[in-house]
Amino acid sequence: MKPKLKEGTHFTQRSFPCDKCGASLVFCSDEGALRCQYCGETNRITPPKLPIYENDLDDALYRLERTKKVNLLDDMHAKCPSCGAGFDMDAHIRSTKCPFCATPVVTNLDIFMPLSPKSLLPFAINQKEAKVIFKKWVGNLWFAPNSLKKFTETDSRFNGIYLPYWTYDSQTHSDFRGQRGDTYYERVTRRVYVNGREEFVEDMEPRIEWTPVQGSVERHFDDVLIGATKTIPRKLVDALEPWDLENLENFDDQYLSGFESEVYQVALDDGFHYAKEYMSYEIREAVRHRIGGDRQKITDLKIYHDKSTFKYILLPIWTAHFKYNKKDFRFAINARSGQIKGERPYSKTKIFLAVALGLAILGTFFLAAEMENGMISQHFDQIHIRLDNF
């Protein structure tokens, strides 16, 4: 399908050829510059040193409401600026590599989107360093299959990608009603039997006194981060925080050269919905703190958002797929901090051996100590259940 073009605009692709030898330049994290893979020539990236602005959320949502019909396309047809081959790109991919000659290709896809990114964090960890991190992580995994360890020797499926994120700021005012519970102790007399004889003892029993409370809390939220990708599970994306957002650079498409990058697939208002859920959780904690006492009930909570702003940014990650027993496992590394998060396979053989060894040890231990009281069979049951779960 052809992209719906605004008048006078075309879906274009470009690469960044080296002035010296014509080969393509890719972003090099060691130098923070574009570098030629063949002759080593470097090109500084000099994005304008502008302050990175927060955008008014209400205003943007109002304008988006009116432009909602400008929608993207299933896939976009691209032409490699180096070898001229044509290929299709998924509609959410902004930059990639030519499937025929591997030239980094950066498109102008953002001009067809209602919003375009204004800032990003450049890659600070290169592919080699990412592999070292990955290898160390795999080395520390219990029960990882050997084929996973072998996978770390190859790098073909290590992919550097800029993911789209929304960040939201909001000034919140919340009115609440609730109950504060304070514990007090009441003296009670209890009847007990000692050696068959009836006796009365005095005891202190805890009770809770509830008092109605109401009030309000103010909270300011800064840069609540919501991943706007749908290609990588939210669980993985969220686990890569924190990000050093204080180091955001102004957007320049030269940073993308050599990496894949995505445009947002979670809409701005949906992203704010997730952000509000997170904020509401924090606000409830603040309300409980304000209510005080030993226990708290919140019966009514109204949250008002004011001066909400957002930024659309790109953050760099390394990812890899791994297939094991026909299942797909995925890993992601924060390419700023090196933080890694992954889904992981278990080796049934290794678990079996470990359990067998454990049984042997347990067996010796319990046979010696607890033969008669049925503890052994209990332990065996637990181990069987665990095996089934794997």
For Zn ion, the binding residues (CB under 5 A) are 18, 20-21, 23, 36, 38-39, 41, 80, 82-83, 85, 98, 100-101, 103
- Residue 76 CB, nearest approach to Zn ion (Å): 16
> Considering only CA atoms, which of 78, 73, 72 is closest in space to residue 113?
72
Q: List the alpha helices (DSSP H) in 216-347.
A: 234-238, 268-291
CB of 242 to Zn ion, least distance (A): 37
Min dist CB 307 to Zn ion, Å, is 47
Number of other residues whose CB lies within 10 A of the CB of residue 73: 17
- CA 127 to CA 106: how far, in whole Å? 19
- For Zn ion, the closer of residues 16 and 310 by Cβ is 16
Among residues 21 and 188, whose Cβ is nearest to Zn ion? Answer: 21
Yes or no: say if 81 and 12 are a contact pair by the CB < 8 Å rule. no
What would you measure as the largest C-alpha separation in the chain, in angstroms?
Answer: 103
User: Which residue number, 10 or 20, has a Cβ lying nearer to Zn ion?
Assistant: 20
Q: Smaller CB distance to Zn ion: residue 98 or 226?
A: 98
Residue 260 CB, nearest approach to Zn ion (Å): 15
Give 41 or 169: the residue with its C-beta nearer to Zn ion.
Answer: 41
Q: What letter does residue 85 receive in the DSSP assignment?
A: -
Could you give the angle at which helices 57-67 and 268-291 cross, rounded to 10 degrees? 150
Q: For residue 328, what are the β-bridge partners? A: 323
State CA 364 to chain mean position distance. 46
Task: Report, in Å, the least distance between residue 249 CB and Zn ion.
Answer: 24
> Toward Zn ion, which CB reaches closer, 100 or 390?
100
Residue 92 CB, shortest distance to Zn ion, in Å, is: 21
Of the candidates 127, 137, 90, the residue with the CA atom closest to the CA atom of residue 340:
137
Separation CA 352–CA 154 (nearest Å):
28
Q: Which is nearer to Zn ion, 23 or 239 (CB)?
A: 23
Backbone angles phi, psi at 44, to 5 degrees: -65, 140
Cα–Cα distance measured from residue 203 to residue 45, given in angstroms and rounded to the nearest whole number: 76
Q: Name the DSSP letter for residue 108.
A: -
The nearest distance, CB 85 to Zn ion, in angstroms, is 5
Cβ closer to Zn ion: 99 or 363?
Answer: 99
- Name the helix (H) or strand (E) containing 203: strand 197-227
- Min dist CB 27 to Zn ion, Å, is 15
Letter string b/e over residues 314-341, b meaning 16 or more CB atoms within 10 A of that residue's CB? bbbbbbbebebeeeebbbbbbbbeebbb
Q: Quote the least distance from Cβ 349 to Zn ion, whole Å.
A: 44
CB 249 within 8 A of CB 313: no
Q: Which is nearer to Zn ion, 172 or 261 (CB)?
A: 261
